[in-house]
Amino acid sequence: MRALRVAIGVSGGVDSAVSASLLKKAGHEVVAVHMINWDPREEGTSKCDQSFDSAVARRVCQHLDIPYKTVNFVREYWNEVFRQMIDNYTIGRTVVPDIACNRFIKFQHFHDYCIKNLDADLVATGHYVSTSIESELMAGKNPSNLNADLLAGIDPIKDQSFFLCTLKQEQLKRALFPIGKLFKTQVYEIAKQEGLIEVANKKESMGICFVGKRKNFTTFMDQYIEPRPGLIKTIAGKIVAEHTGIHHFTIGKRVLYQGDHLGYFVVELDPKTNTVLVCSGSHHPRLFAQEFVIRTPEWISINPLKNHLDVRFRIQRTHPVIKCRLETSLKDGKEVITVKTQIPVRAVAPGQMCVFYADRVCLGGAHTELILLVIVSSTRIQPILYEVFFCFSVFVERLVATRKLAVYEKSKYWPLSTLLILLNTLVSIICTYAIIYYLYDHYFLILFIFFPIIAFIALFSFWCLHQLYLWNHRELQTMTSFVEVKNFHEKTYANDAYLSRRFQLTENIEVLKLMHTIFKVHSVCSLVGVFLSGIPMVFLDFNTEIAQMMLVFFDLVIIV
C-alpha cells in the first residue's frame, strides 16, 4: 500500500477525528478541511455551535499534527439544499435535507475543492459506511475501471447508508470511509487511546446541524415560510382546529388537540386547500400503506429491476428494512414504479426517501410520490402486528450491536437492560390496547396469541443475558488477551491495563446478575398486567370510554 494524499472533512466530532487519526497512522499524507455550510448570522448571533465545532476541529488537528483548512459553502448550501427543503415543506412534502447535503455539498463541491485545490488523491469522511473498492483505492489502483458498491456500516445503530443513497459512481470512486467497518464504541476507544479526550467526551450532535442551539425545528421553519392558515379535519369531515401552515406537519405526526382520548394523527396534507386530515389513534388503518409510487430511482451500481434481486427497503433511517416487490407500468407514456410491501408500513409520506437494499449493499433511493393502497378498515389487527414486527426487528438489531460492543464499555449493559424492559412493556401495552380497543370480545383469543409472544421475548432475553454473562466470565478466567481494534495497531498492554480490565469484567458480571433479577420480576409483572387488563370488561361488562382510560392507566402502572 503506497502513501496517498488524503483530504478529510473534519466536523469537530469524534467520528471525523478518529478517521483522520487512522489515516495518518496508516502512513498517508492527511489534510483536514472544515466545511462552513451555514451563516452563523442566521442564528441571530455571531456565536453558535458551528463556531465551537470549528475550534474543536482545529485543536484536534493540532493534536494529530496535521494541516487544518476551512472552506465556505454557505452559498451552495443555501441554493442547492436549504431552498429546496423550504420549497418542499411549503407544499407538504417531507424531505431529508441531509441526503441532498451529502450529494451536492460534501461529495460534490467538497470533493471538487479537495482534488483541485489541495491536490488530493482521495477524500475521506467519518460516515459509518464502506465501499466495495476501498482496498483497491488504498492500494493506489486506478478506479476508472472499477464498479463501486455502497455497503451499509457494520454498526446497525450508526449505519449512515440511508443518507448516502443518491451518491454516484464517480463520487464513490474517490471516497474513503475509515470508520465504516468499526462500531461506535470502537471509535470512542480509539479516540481515548489517541488522546482525543475532548471529542471522546463531547456530546453527539443529533438532528439537522444548522438549527443551532434552539433545537426547535418548527420555530426555525417559521422564520423562512410565511404562515398560511388552514383547517385540521378528521377523515369524516369534522373540523378539529385551525393551523398556521402545513409545513408544521408530516404524515404520522400526533396533533396535540383535545377531543379524542386516542389522540389525532396526520394522515394526509392537502397543499391546494391547505387542509390537514387527521385520524383517531396511532394504529388507525389510514396510517398504514402497502403500495406507493416512487420517482425514477437513482441506482448506485446495480439496477434490481434488471437483475431481479430480492429487495428490501426503509423510509426512515431508524426503521428496519422490509421486503418489497418493485413493479413497473406505463401511465401516459411514462414509466411508473410501484413499491408493494410485504407488510403494511406506517406513515409513508410524499417526499420521503425510499432506500433499497440487497443484503448489505445499498442499491440506491427514490422519493415517494403517491400512496396507492392503505389498509382497509376491516383489517384493524394488521397495524398492531406491524408494530410488533417493528419493535422486534429494532430490538434484534440493537441486541446484535450491543452484544458485539459490550466488552468495550460497561455502560452499554444498562441500555441493553432498558431496551429489553421497554420491548417487553411495548408488547404488553399493545396486547392491552388490542383487548381494549380492537378485540375485547375475543379476550381469550388475544391472550392465546400474545402470551406466547411475551413469554418468548422473556426467555430470549434471559438467554441473551446469560450469554453475556458467560462471555465476560470466560474472559475473566482466561485473561490471555485483550480486545483490540481490527486493522488499527498492535500494542502491548501495561500491568495497569490488565488490572483495569479484570476489574471491569468483575463489575460487568455483577451488573448482569442484577439485570437478570430485574428483568425476571418485570416479566412476571407484565404477564400479570396483561391478564388483569381485560377482566373488568370481559367479566364485569365495563365498556365505557372512561373505564377504558382507567384500564390503560391501571395496566401501565402494573407494567412499569
With CA atoms as reference, report the closest residue to 95 among 341, 292, 366: 366
Question: Between the CA of residue 314 and those of 147, 174, 322, 353, 374, what are the distances in Å?
Answer: 24, 27, 6, 8, 17
Q: Among residues 61, 114, 165, 209, which one is catalytic?
A: 209
Contacting residues for 173 by C-beta, under 8 A, at least 6 apart: 133, 137, 143, 144, 146, 148
Compute the distance between CA of residue 370 and CA of residue 251 in angstroms, rounded to an integer: 13
Compute the distance between CA of residue 479 and CA of residue 483 in angstroms, rounded to an integer: 10
Q: Among residues 48, 61, 101, 391, which one is catalytic?
A: 101
Beta-strand pair 150-152/361-374? antiparallel
Give yes or no: 209 in active site.
Answer: yes
CA dihedral 533, 535, 541, 543 (to 10 degrees): 0
With CA atoms as reference, report the closest residue to 429 among 546, 525, 286: 525
Give yes or no: 165 in active site.
Answer: no
Q: How many CB atoms lie under 10 A from the CB of residue 195?
A: 11
Compute the distance between CA of residue 77 and CA of residue 73 in angstroms, rounded to an integer: 6
With CA atoms as reference, report the closest residue to 229 among 259, 273, 266: 273
| Vertex 456 angle, CA 455 and 457, to 5° | 90
Convert 443-473 to b/e letters by CB count within 10 Å (16 or more is b).
beebbeebeeebeebbebbeebbeebbebbe
Compute the distance between CA of residue 468 and CA of residue 474 in angstroms, rounded to an integer: 10
User: Could you please report the per-residue DSSP string of 252-301?
Assistant: T-EE--SS-TT-EEEEEEETTTTEEEEEESTT-GGGEEEEEEEPPPEESS
Compute the distance between CA of residue 200 and CA of residue 78 in angstroms, rounded to an integer: 31
Beta-strand pair 29-36/5-9? parallel
Beta-strand pair 288-294/361-374? antiparallel
Compute the distance between CA of residue 189 and CA of residue 196 in angstroms, rounded to an integer: 10
| Vertex 405 angle, CA 400 and 407, to 5° | 130
With CA atoms as reference, report the closest residue to 433 among 332, 519, 553, 335: 553
Q: Facing residues of 21 across strands?
A: none
Q: Which residues are catalytic?
A: 101, 209
